[in-house]
A and B are shown apart, each in its own frame.
Chain A
Amino acid sequence: MTDIRVEGLVHVYDGGVSALDGVDLSVAAGERVALIGQNGSGKTTLVRHFDGLLRPTSGRVLVGGVDAAGRTVAQLAREVGLVFQDPDRQIFASTVRGEVEFGPQNLGLRGAALRSAVANALTATGLEKAAETNPYDLGTSRRKLLALASVLAMRTPVLVLDEPTTGQDMRGMAIVEEVVAAVSAAGRTVVAISHDMRFVAERFDRVVVMRQGRIVLDGSPAEVFARDQWETLRSTFVEPPLAAVLGDRLGVGPTPTDAALVSAMKSRG
C-alpha cells in the first residue's frame, strides 16, 4: 500500500502566480481524505503533484516513500490514479469500453484480467450498458463517471478525485459515494477535492482545509466542522454543513452529518 508525503511544497506558475505556499501533508495508506477550500486555494495544484503532472518549485513529494522527482508521470500513474475535474481533458477513445481499456492495457493487462478490470469499472460506475457508446454521446455527468471508470480500471493504490460529484444527480452521487466506500474498503487510499460538504462530512475520515496555498485546518469532520473552526472555514469561503450549524444551536454539537445530529438528539431525548 502507498502513502503520500508532501514536504514544504511550493508551486509558482509561469507568470508568477503562487498557488502553493509551503504545504506539508501526510496521507497514510488506506486513508480517506477530503480536500476543501475556496476556488483558487491550491487544491488541484496540490494533487497534480501526486502523479507528476506538476513538479515542485521547491519542496518535495514522496509517493510510497520514494521521491516523485526521479519518476516519470507514466511511472507515477501506476500508483496514483487522478480523475480530473473536467472529463474532456482525459477522454479520447471512440467507445466507452476503449476508453476504460486504455489505462489497464498500458499497465500490461491482457485477456481475461483486462476484461474483468474493465467490466468491474464499468459496473461500478453504472456504464455497463453504455460500453459501446461514443463517449461524446454521453452527457457531461456520465462522461465524468467514464473518466472515473477509466482510472478505477487501473486499480491504483491511490485514487485522487477532483470534484467528482459536480453535475451529478442523485443516482450519480450515489455511484460516486459507493466507489469511494468500495475503494477505501479494499484498503486503497482516496483523496477527493470537493465543495459538497454533505459528501465530505459523510464519506471521509479526515478533512484538510486549504486557503491561499496553505493548509489551515486538518482533522476529522467533527473537528473541522466544530464551531471553533467556523471562522477559519469562512475565511476560505466554506460554510459548515447545515447539520453542524443546527447541532451547535441545539447544544448537541459537533454534529457534522444529519445522522450525527439525529443520534445526538435521540440520546439527549
Chain B
Amino acid sequence: MLTVQGFSYRHAGATRPSLMDLDFVLGDGEVVGVVGANDSGKTTLCLVLAGLAPRIVGGTLTGRFSIDGADAQALRMHELPALVGIGFDDPATQLSGVAATVFEEVAFGPANMGVPRDELIARTAGALESLAISHLAERDPARLSGGQQQLVAIASILALRPRHVVLDEPTAQLDPSGTALVGDALERLAGQGVSILVVEHKTDLLARVANRVVALDGGRVVLEGPARDVLGDAALVDLGVAPPSEVRLRRAFVAAGLDPARLEAARA
C-alpha cells in the first residue's frame, strides 16, 4: 500500500509546486489511473512515488509518503526497486544500454538484486512471455522498433517483481494489440496483489483496467472516484482529457438526438 497525506512537491529551482495537497491511498491489488493535461503533474507524481524525487532529481517534498507503512524517505535507495517499479514514457530512458540482447536487458535488474541464476532465467522468460515478446529474446534492444522497446522496458519492470508499480504512459508507442497485452499484464499483476498507478492518455485502456481514476489539474487532484464515474464525467474534457471512445460516441449520439440505448445494445 502506498499512502500519501498532505503531500506537496516542488522541483528544484521551480517557483511553484508541481504537486499540491495530495491525499490518496493506493491499495494492494488496486489499479489507479491518473489523467490530466500535459504539465498537470502526472510525471512528477510518478517520480515521487517511485522514490526518485526528491532523492535523485532534487526538489522539496512536504507531507507524508509511506510505502507499506514505512516512511519512504527513510528507506535506502537500493531497497526501492524491489518495492516500487517505475516505467518511464520513453523506453530509451529505461533501457540500460549495456545489454547485448533483450534477454540480458530484462534480466539486468533482478541480476543486480542478486536473484539466483535459475530463478533469474525463469523470471526473465516469464516476463517476456507475458508480453508476447519471447521471439525478441536474442535481438539487440537498440535495434527494436519504438513499440517493441516499450514492451521490453515493461518486461524488465515485471522481472523485478515489485510490490508496487508506477507507470508513466506505458503504452504511448504501442499498437492496439501491444496496448491490450499491457492491459492484460496489469490485470494479472493486480490479481497477484500488486498495486498499480498508471498515467495514461489512452482513456480506453483505463476504462478497461482501472478501479479508480484520479484527474490532476495544475498539480492538484480535481476529480477522483470509480473509473466509470470519472471517465464519464463531462468535466474531463475541460481538463484537456479525451474521454474513452464509448463515452465520446454516446455523447455524439445524444447530441444528434439519437437514443444511446441502441449503442449499449450493440455493445452487449
Q: A: which residues have CB within 8 A of B?
A: 13, 15, 17, 37-40, 44, 85-86, 88, 139-142, 163, 166-173, 195, 197-198, 234, 237-239, 241-243, 246, 249-250, 258-259, 261-262, 265-266
Contacts and interface: CB of A to CB of B under 8 A. Distances in A.
25 contacts: A15-B143, A37-B175, A39-B146, A39-B147, A39-B173, A40-B147, A40-B148, A44-B146, A85-B146, A139-B43, A163-B173, A169-B242, A170-B241, A170-B242, A171-B37, A171-B38, A195-B173, A195-B175, A197-B176, A237-B177, A242-B245, A242-B249, A246-B249, A261-B252, A265-B258
Contacts of B177: 38, 234, 237-239
B248 A258 contact: yes
A86 B148 CA distance: 14
A168 B173 contact: no
A17 B176 CA distance: 23
A63 to B, nearest CB: 24
B24 interface: no
Contact of B176 (A171, A172, A195): A195
A265 B263 CA distance: 11
Nearest to A89: B92
A141 B144 contact: no
A39 B266 contact: no
Nearest to A43: B145
Contacts of A167: 38, 89, 169, 172, 201
A169 B201 contact: yes
B37 A169 contact: yes
Contact of A170 (B145, B151, B175, B240): B240
A172 B179 CA distance: 21
A70 B174 CA distance: 35
B262 interface: yes
Contacts of B266: 246, 249-250
Contact of A17 (B143, B241, B257): B143
Contact of A140 (B89, B151, B257, B263): B89
Contacts of A173: 242
B90 interface: yes
Contact of B256 (A13, A39, A140, A262): A262
Contact of A139 (B38, B147, B248, B253): B38
- Top 4 nearest A-B pairs (CB, nearest first) are A39-B147, A237-B177, A242-B245, A249-B266
Nearest to B256: A262
Interface residues of B, number: 45
Contacts of B92: 86, 88
Contacts of B39: 139
Interface in B209-268: 237, 240-242, 245-246, 248-249, 252-253, 256-258, 262-263, 266-267
B178 interface: yes
B241 A40 contact: no
B173 A262 contact: no
Contacts of A85: 146, 173
A40 B173 CA distance: 11
A143 B113 CA distance: 35
Contacts of B262: 250, 265
B184 interface: no
Interface string B90-112: 10100000000000000000000
B140 interface: yes
Contacts of B143: 13, 15, 17
A53 B173 CA distance: 21
A265 B179 CA distance: 30
Instruction: Name, among B139, B246, B266, the residue most crowded by chain A CB atoms within 10 Å (CB to CB).
Output: B266
Given A141-B38, A250-B262, A266-B256, A261 B249 contact: yes
Contacts of A38: 147, 175, 177-178
